[in-house]
Amino acid sequence: MMRLEKRPQPSGYWTALTPILAVVLTMLVGGVMFWALGKPPVEAIRTIFWDPLFHPQFAAYSRPQLLVKAGPLILIAIGLSIGFRAGIWNIGAEGQYIMGAVTGAAVGLAFYPSESVLLFPLMVIAGALGGWAWAMIPAVLKTRFGTNEILVSLMLVYVAENILASASANWLRSPEGMGFPGSRNFKQWPAVFNDELIANTGMHWGVVTAFIAVIAAYVMMARHIAGFNVRLTGEAPRAARFSGVSPARIVFLCLGLSGVLAGMAGLFEVTGPAGQISIDFGSGYGFTAIIVAFLGRLNPFGILAAGLLMALTYIGGELAQLMLGLPGASIQLFQGMLLFFLLATDVFTNYRVRLVRREVA
């Protein structure tokens, strides 16, 4: 029979190999699905994975769009991954993302129609604080009462969604919108519009911040004492306590950091690609980022790659709908499969599969 034996250290060889294996498996099974739907499988797979990068007509536009789509995912996932390393499960990033956007937008709109150059930085700070404050609720409850942060942060997502609904229908509604829900559009307000910094690169402030966050997280986790304490808390909580690491401080650090990054992601999104606060602004980035964090193995550079891969399936999926008429649902299923295969093959990274003879008692 087969049994799993835990590796003393995750296998570097398998860490690199499993994502490729998972993508190949997804292509095979997904291809069968597309074939069953009566669509050309090879063409569908090529459209999803190849065309956004190299198609002569689309690539010039969709390559930068990969960054636009991946930016918030990476930014949020970086924050989450640090908490996950410490065993702190913030799954309410969606709420922090929404609150960052709402707070930042509210601060900005309070100064409408100011053209001050200070306004945008002020909004970024407000957005970061909004996300941070929302993440501090589970942090305080956890350290003060020992309340489970998974559940509190999840509950707060729904509270945030209702605040968003009320903001877009009520107190942030555009006075010029003829009664339709939705705030003023930041794209028509040059002072705060988070535009591409260099034309046709997709690089807006959110993407830049995401790249900085990747490097900063790498430095922190690999070189800095705070990162060491985070890892120690996650891997050996007792040892961490003996060496003087305060569990409460780690909780505040991790939740605070992920709240700040998620809040900033929300602010950059609302002032940039989304353009306005609207009822369906929360498009699930906070939840997808959890997936990205795991696909990236909680490693900053892994997350960078995973965020780009996830964005590729979104944009490639849209192209496949457009050009081959694939149903939208099949793309969703395809993404689900990719995640399942990655999680399934992950077992080889942490465990060794041994064939053993059944022992005779």
Nearer to other proteins, 252 or 285 (CB): 285
Nearer to other proteins, 100 or 181 (CB): 181
CB of 142 to other proteins, least distance (A): 9
Nearer to other proteins, 97 or 294 (CB): 294
Nearer to other proteins, 229 or 335 (CB): 335
Separation between Cα atoms, residue 334 and residue 90, nearest integer Å: 26
Nearer to other proteins, 136 or 226 (CB): 136
Element (H, E) at 353: strand 351-355
The secondary structure of 239-293 as a DSSP string is HHHHTT--HHHHHHHHHHHHHHHHHHHHHHHHHTTS-S--TT---SHHHHHHHHH
CB of 71 to other proteins, least distance (A): 11
Alpha helix stretches (DSSP H) within the chain = 12-36, 41-49, 51-54, 59-85, 93-110, 119-145, 149-166, 205-223, 225-235, 237-242, 247-271, 285-295, 300-324, 328-345, 347-350
Separation between Cα atoms, residue 134 and residue 104, nearest integer Å: 13
Separation between Cα atoms, residue 80 and residue 292, nearest integer Å: 10
Separation between Cα atoms, residue 282 and residue 265, nearest integer Å: 11
Nearer to other proteins, 256 or 317 (CB): 317
3-class secondary-structure state, position 147: coil
Nearer to other proteins, 118 or 219 (CB): 118
CB of 13 to other proteins, least distance (A): 18
CA angle 169, 175, 178 (to 5 degrees): 75
CB of 244 to other proteins, least distance (A): 26
DSSP conformational letter for 44: H
CB of 162 to other proteins, least distance (A): 4
CB of 34 to other proteins, least distance (A): 11
Cross-strand pairs, 354: 3
At residue 152, φ and ψ (nearest 5 deg) are -65, -45
CB of 274 to other proteins, least distance (A): 5
Nearer to other proteins, 206 or 263 (CB): 206
Instruction: For residue 93, give the nearest of 263, 278, 234 by alpha carbon.
Output: 263
| Cβ proximity of 224 and 300 under 8 Å | no
CB of 339 to other proteins, least distance (A): 4
3-class secondary-structure state, position 214: helix
Nearer to other proteins, 225 or 357 (CB): 357
Separation between Cα atoms, residue 47 and residue 53, nearest integer Å: 10
CB of 182 to other proteins, least distance (A): 8
